[in-house]
Structure 1
Amino acid sequence: MDLIEQLIYPLYQAALLAVAGLFFLCRRRYRSGLALLASSVGWLWLCATPAMAVCLRAPLEHRYPPREASTYSKADAIVILGGGTLPQSGLDPDAEDPYGAVTRLGFGLQLFRSARADMVLLSGDDQARRMARRLERQGVPVDALQTESASMNTHENAAFSAAILKREGRERVLLVTSSIHMPRALAAFTNQGLDVIPAPAYDPIYPSWQAHPWWPRRAALRLSGHCLREYVGMWWYRMRGWT
């Protein structure tokens, strides 16, 4: 599965096209070889442009615009999914990290401080424990925290978290994850029979750009790869009956 996930990313796709192109050139099939090499460079360039990255991101994000934590309805629990960027220095607006307060973890803390729920569930392999420790340092009571650290993907996030929540009679949840991940995560958690309120958070790995939209940037290439992964993931989850 790791190999398949790698092939979703443009860099690996371009590499495969280049290898195929070189193979055809070695076989003296110059037209096919050059076409594949040109496709490799063109695809990599296109996916590395902010214009392409924003085009891929927009359909994933537009249904769940960010809102102030205090505007959300109250729920039984706040579920924060791992996989995002952890704040570097703090979770408060005056911390050195300007994005810390609005990452997944920081926004989940805002929801808790706004009394949107009295329990926070952190879900996602070892990162769940690290997130829990950070929330403890920010004053969240230990008895208000739960961790689910066995899951390795979004489907398991939903299934394992739902088991914990239903056992405690907490079925209305505020789901915190990045905007581009929200469509798949929301569908997966809803499929587990939970009443889910999407609460998207900012993720620093998905920036905005002021530079020329057709000038390639490494961050744009990374964003394009993450978006393509989400589109393939949504299709795969529907095929598996996970959404």
Structure 2
Amino acid sequence: MSYDFEDPRSAMDVVEYLLYPIYQMATLAAASLCFLCRRSYRAALVLLALGACWLWLCATPAMATRLLESLERHYPQRDASTYAKADAIVILGGGALPRYGVGSDADDAYSLATRIGFGLQLFRDARADMVLVSGSDQAQRMARRLQRQGVPVDAVQTECASTNTHENAEFSAVLLKRAKRSRILLVTSGFHMPRAAAAFANQGLDVIPAPAFDPVYPSWQAHPWWPKRSALRVTGRCLREYAGLWWYRLRGWA
């Protein structure tokens, strides 16, 4: 999985929401209202202005691109055939699934750019003879799609118990070590790779990062400082990823 924090769930839900700029703006607006009720007009105005400026900045492609590149810079995308061979290909759930699951349409550019699509390319290029898909919400669907695209049933394993990246790594490591496969090609989105690779390496696995292009992130052609909703979404996800990486390091999971 890509976006998570750990138990207690109720407390962490609040924290996750506060990592999104729009909720940060709402929090500052609520604080501003409190100051306004106390007739502290200057403090109210300052808080409201800060919230508006922060929201505007987070919604700009310039900010979103900078954050995204800072997470992805150590994990450049490469052709599947250029990767070293490994014992297994591990594909994490949480990303977009291909539009099509059967037939030649599944080989379109969009489908092959997803995590499952890039994992399929690695398998077709004989980078490993086993694929492990991990994630409670998508593992079974991903496994079926791989099998429909010609991956043998006995070459696909599923890990369906994990609900976050730490559990992806912990539960997958058990299956991989049982099969005596410690060198893995790890497939996930580039922005998620720093935390995912660290979590899997923390389980004693030899990790080769193999980032997939995440098609949910558009390229922005307009002015970089003109706010866009899609840029705000990317900024929010990147902020969550930075916070998640910090949390994993604090817990000793990365």
| TM-score in terms of structure 1 length | 0.96
Q: Secondary structure at the match of 1:181?
A: helix
Deviation per CA, 1:69-89: give whole Å up to 9, x if none: 011000000000011111112
> Structure 2 unaligned runs (5+)?
1-11
Match in the other structure for 2:247: 236
SS in structure 2 at match of 1:196: strand
Which deviates more, 16-25 or 189-198? Answer: 16-25
1:57 aligns with 2:34: no
In the aligned structure 1, how far is the partner of 2:200 from the partner of 2:119? 17
Alpha-carbon deviations, 1:25-51, whole Å to 9, x = none? 111110111111111111111101000
CA 36–92 in structure 1, closer or farther in 2 if over 3 Å, else same: farther
Q: Contact 2:57 / 2:63 at 8 angstroms: preserved in 1?
A: yes
CA RMSD of aligned residues (A): 1.5
* Distance in 1 of aligned mates of 2:109 and 2:210: 20
Mapped pair 1:172 → 2:183: yes
Q: CA deviation at 1:92?
A: 8.6
Check the 8 A contact 1:120/1:144 in 2, yes or no: yes
In the other structure, the counterpart of 2:37 is 26
- Which residue identity is paired with 2:15? I
Which one of 153, 156, 159 corresponds to residue 148 of structure 1? Answer: 159
In the aligned structure 2, how far is the partner of 1:4 from the partner of 1:76?
A: 38
1:68-217 → structure 2 map (5 Å cutoff): 68-90=79-101, 95=106, 98-217=109-228
Give a deviation string over 1:157-182, Cα, whole Å, max 9, x none: 00000000000000000000000100
List alignment gaps of at least 5 residues for structure 1: none
Q: Distance in 2 between matches of 1:92 and 1:223?
A: 32
Q: Who is 1:10 aligned against? A: 21
TM-fit CA distance, 1:207: 2.2
1:131-172 per-residue CA deviation (whole Å, 9 max, x = no partner) reads 111111111111111111111111110000000000000000
Identity %: 71
Aligned residue pairs total 243
Runs of 4 or more consecutive aligned structure 1 residues displaced over 3 Å after TM superposition: 90-98
